[in-house]
Structure 1
């Protein structure tokens, strides 16, 4: 049986998701921040014959994340929900789960990107930086979006500005940045921050300022501040060079994550 989840399901849902808290940080963070009754976020649960929760589907704006603990995700049931939304969709999640949605009639998935999923729980390698790192506020959002738009590897979401503002206002995300001659040249952000963890996203450097260690300096400051709050850091990457940088900062690979954009 599948049904929409409500606030009175929260304990059951959180107990289910915390079994793999790192992989579920987006779902956990969005539930903690926005609950079950907002117009831009919905959750559905799939219940087995024993009435136990066996899978969850999150919609956040036009992005969907399915999760199942064991076996396979209920692709048929979740697909019908996803197909009921007319806008272009973004699908992401653990690779072995979301790849089951490929070639489903009526769901047009965008470009596929398979990434490594890594986590860090040590600040041993985060020495202080001499660079002046700033924490962004609402007035900096347009400059952040402009910088990201100039990065070839990024895939802009049409809701990017709204999501960034929402994350700042709700406390589910923060962005740190570095300027040179008044220009924003490097940034790093968190997303889906929750009581246990935070996802690192939006790490980028202006094309004219690369290979100077600027993004690394921003990340060190951001990582240190987040970990001082007792949170596990997570991120995904597909660039081996970036992977080497993250591992020097204490990250280890824990699985694979696939996105369709």
Structure 2
């Protein structure tokens, strides 16, 4: 049986998600920030006869993340997802979300499989003299413009709104460098919660690359977040980027698939 989750389910939900806390960073962070009954966020669970959770589905705006530890009612989750406006964005642990690919009615977008990595300490981080600033709401348009200039990035229609929501709810922050009034590089966190943070949006303007700007920003941001007692997570698919992250202390812990 699939049912809607409420605040009364919170402890069981956290216990279930804590089996893989890094993989479930997005779900945990969104629950802590927005709860179970927000206009843009809902959660459902498949439960057994004893009302024990077997699988969870999160909706955050147009994005869905499923999680399960074994077999689950994929058809039931698909029925829920179909009720919402297209396009649907789906992401999660690869062996879970790939079960949704056969449902053509979901009109899933381009598939991207990435490595999922985790960093637990700042032992590998160095010091630098680069002037790195923390972004505010006033910097959001520059962040979106910079990201839009990167060929590899796909900017969603609600990207600006989500970035503002993250800043206002303290579930995300961005650090950047600037030269002559133009943002040259930036790095963001998202889905920040009490135990972890996801690194996203690592980008440098084409004409400012190979100057160590993104690495300098990451070193600054990583030290701040790790000093707060949080674990850092990220996903990557570029081998060169992977080597940089591993030099900064990240280790692969699995694979993550997104449909955009």
TM over 0.5: yes
* d(CA) in 2 for partners of 1:6, 1:51: 13
The answer to whether the Cα contact below 8 Å between 1:116 and 1:238 also exists between their aligned partners in 2 is: yes
* d(CA) in 2 for partners of 1:74, 1:191: 29
Which residue of the partner structure matches residue 17 of structure 1? 17
The answer to whether the Cα contact below 8 Å between 2:46 and 2:72 also exists between their aligned partners in 1 is: no
- 1:127 positional shift: 1.4
The answer to whether the Cα contact below 8 Å between 1:73 and 1:97 also exists between their aligned partners in 2 is: no
* d(CA) in 2 for partners of 1:238, 1:256: 10
Which residue of the partner structure matches residue 7 of structure 1? 7
Structure 2 gaps, min length 5: none
* d(CA) in 2 for partners of 1:49, 1:112: 35
The answer to whether the Cα contact below 8 Å between 2:196 and 2:232 also exists between their aligned partners in 1 is: yes
Which residue of the partner structure matches residue 44 of structure 2? 44
Which residue of the partner structure matches residue 248 of structure 2? 249
Cα RMSD (Å) of the superposition? 0.8
Which residue of the partner structure matches residue 54 of structure 2? 54
Which stretch of the first structure deviates more once superposed, 41-50 or 243-252?
41-50
Which residue of the partner structure matches residue 68 of structure 1? 68
Which residue of the partner structure matches residue 112 of structure 2? 113
Which residue of the partner structure matches residue 204 of structure 1? 203
* d(CA) in 1 for partners of 2:202, 2:2: 37
* d(CA) in 2 for partners of 1:82, 1:152: 30
1:142 matched to 2:141: yes
* d(CA) in 2 for partners of 1:260, 1:206: 25
Superposition pairs of residues 28-43 of structure 1, within 5 angstroms: 28-43=28-43
After superposition, the C-alpha distances for 1:62-109 in whole angstroms (9 at most, x for unaligned) are 00000002x223210000001111221110000000000002131100
* d(CA) in 2 for partners of 1:49, 1:106: 30
The answer to whether the Cα contact below 8 Å between 2:62 and 2:85 also exists between their aligned partners in 1 is: no
* d(CA) in 1 for partners of 2:225, 2:259: 28
Which residue of the partner structure matches residue 231 of structure 2? 232
The answer to whether the Cα contact below 8 Å between 1:67 and 1:73 also exists between their aligned partners in 2 is: no
* d(CA) in 2 for partners of 1:79, 1:129: 48
After superposition, the C-alpha distances for 1:10-50 in whole angstroms (9 at most, x for unaligned) are 11101110111000000000000000111000000110233
* d(CA) in 2 for partners of 1:152, 1:14: 38
| Secondary structure in 2 matching 1:42 | strand
1:187 matched to 2:186: yes
* d(CA) in 1 for partners of 2:71, 2:60: 22
